[in-house]
Structure 1
């Protein structure tokens, strides 16, 4: 995995330790990362009112080999994190409030995934899950981990032998144990995580079917036997949680619904048992959810 040196954090952490001339360089650079990443050493020195040697010393003080290395790190930091540096805000209007902004994003994400994801492929995935002996779900990170666990919650009640894993080493071991009677459901917002993609490839090597819920222009989509398209553009705001996880949940729920229809007789009895044994301890309305 390629490690990206976070020059911005390094400069901020060393700010009090720098010499006076180096602090001036830091102030100039942090005021405009984009400019500094493209400026010559002479331009940076002139803007800071210091010598070119001071710019070179500053580069080494913050962990760079030289000025070109510093500029490369600055360009990378600006390109990746511009909106976090400039403070893009999530607009909360007086009319909608925070709840209005969040719901608006969710609705837009759901409308998008409704047009992206193929109903035919949903049915194919449900049929595959119905036919195999074992299903494992791989998801890593803040959103996919939760959705992988929810896929288990959705499908165990229909008699599916299903489990989820979010640790890369566990995923690798589990993938190595699978065969042609198994299916791997991989959930990834980006489809770019090398470790989880490697695990999917391992499972496929041993004959398991690989189903990916991810964006179509990703390596994960390319290696999957069936790919379900979910590609939600992230908003500029930096504080609001991404609505893409709701789109991923919708696809998982759609698969579960199709699966329930395939197994409607056994699913009905399983759901009855669950509802009966839940209501004996919680009581209440007969319309309470079945274990949600």
Structure 2
């Protein structure tokens, strides 16, 4: 087993290998040098093949693996393969030029337009109408998203809904989400936002809330675990840009859906909505004194 005094948990073997360069015993260093230069080939090699390629013994290879924090060569190969699966695009990204400011804006807008066009072609208007109907009569609405983009969209959704007179709260803590889901019942809505639809915390909350009779509404990927557990699923398979430096555009697409739902809700509840928005604007004018056109709540 790994000696805890000489190795750390190998969460990122590639970084660990880089940090240890020059610190291995001399023969282990030969293995380190070969591995660093042939990262993608190691998964197809046996321990004997690696030892021959490095001109060392198989026990030296095992010691090298344990120095990195692995239990042995097999554990090392599995962990290295896992690292490479997510790291290669960052270790050798596609070459590109750093754009001028206007060029960067154009690139982001181009990705946004492309993503929105893809989404528009996939949307089912009946599902959006069903979402509006469920939210319009909701006793309470809990909106949840985990991770940077989905969390931001969930917060914006709750922000939109409360202005329309609908009691809503955004949740991004996984434990709090399970508790909130357990308080929902018939007439309540749990709105879950996830680009992947695979987060266990969200599918668990969907099962809890659905089990108590609440409507589970999801904005997510089609045929995902979350989509399967939702009462109403607004689905879109959104492409991710291969440029690793470009922020994901899917969060903008989800914001468009939230705005479309909010507008539909406002129109469906026009009398209540208008009075609510009037009160909000009046309270803000009394607070800061500005009466000119401006975003509501700014």
**TM-score (norm. length: structure 1):** 0.91
What does residue range 17-166 of structure 1 map to in structure 2 within 5 Å? Answer: 17-88=23-94, 92-93=98-99, 97-166=103-172
Alignment partner of 1:102: what SS? Answer: helix
After superposition, give the CA deviation of every residue in 1:173-200 in whole Å (9 maximum; x if it has no partner).
1111111121100011111111221111
1:89 deviates by 5.4
Paired residues of 2:10 and 2:68 also in contact (CA < 8 A): no
After superposition, give the CA deviation of every residue in 1:82-141 in whole Å (9 maximum; x if it has no partner).
202223456544695211111111111111221222222111101101112111011111
2:176 corresponds to 1:170: yes
Cα separation, 2, equivalents of 1:153 and 1:230:
23
1:225 deviates by 0.6
Q: 1:251 to 1:90 in 2, by over 3 A?
A: farther
Alignment partner of 2:141: what SS? Answer: strand
Paired residues of 1:232 and 1:244 also in contact (CA < 8 A): yes
Q: Which has the higher contact order (CA 8 A, sep 6+)?
A: 1
2:187 corresponding residue in structure 1: 181
Alignment partner of 1:15: what SS? Answer: coil
Match of 1:268 among 259, 274, 277: 274
1:241 corresponding residue in structure 2: 247
Paired residues of 1:38 and 1:75 also in contact (CA < 8 A): no
Cα separation, 2, equivalents of 1:50 and 1:4:
23
1:19 deviates by 1.4
Cα separation, 1, equivalents of 2:144 and 2:122:
22
Q: 1:217 to 1:24 in 2, by over 3 A?
A: farther
Q: 1:33 to 1:150 in 2, by over 3 A?
A: same
Q: 1:127 to 1:285 in 2, by over 3 A?
A: same
Paired residues of 2:182 and 2:212 also in contact (CA < 8 A): yes
Decide which moves more: 90-99 or 262-271: 90-99
Paired residues of 1:212 and 1:226 also in contact (CA < 8 A): yes
- Specify every segment of 5 or more residues in structure 2 that has no aligned partner in the other structure, as ranges: 1-8
Q: 1:229 to 1:91 in 2, by over 3 A?
A: farther
Decide which moves more: 278-287 or 143-152: 278-287
Cα separation, 2, equivalents of 1:244 and 1:278:
33
- Specify every segment of 5 or more residues in structure 1 that has no aligned partner in the other structure, as ranges: none
Deviating beyond 6 angstroms after TM superposition, the runs of 4 or more aligned structure 1 residues are none
Cα separation, 1, equivalents of 2:59 and 2:16:
20
1:283 deviates by 5.0
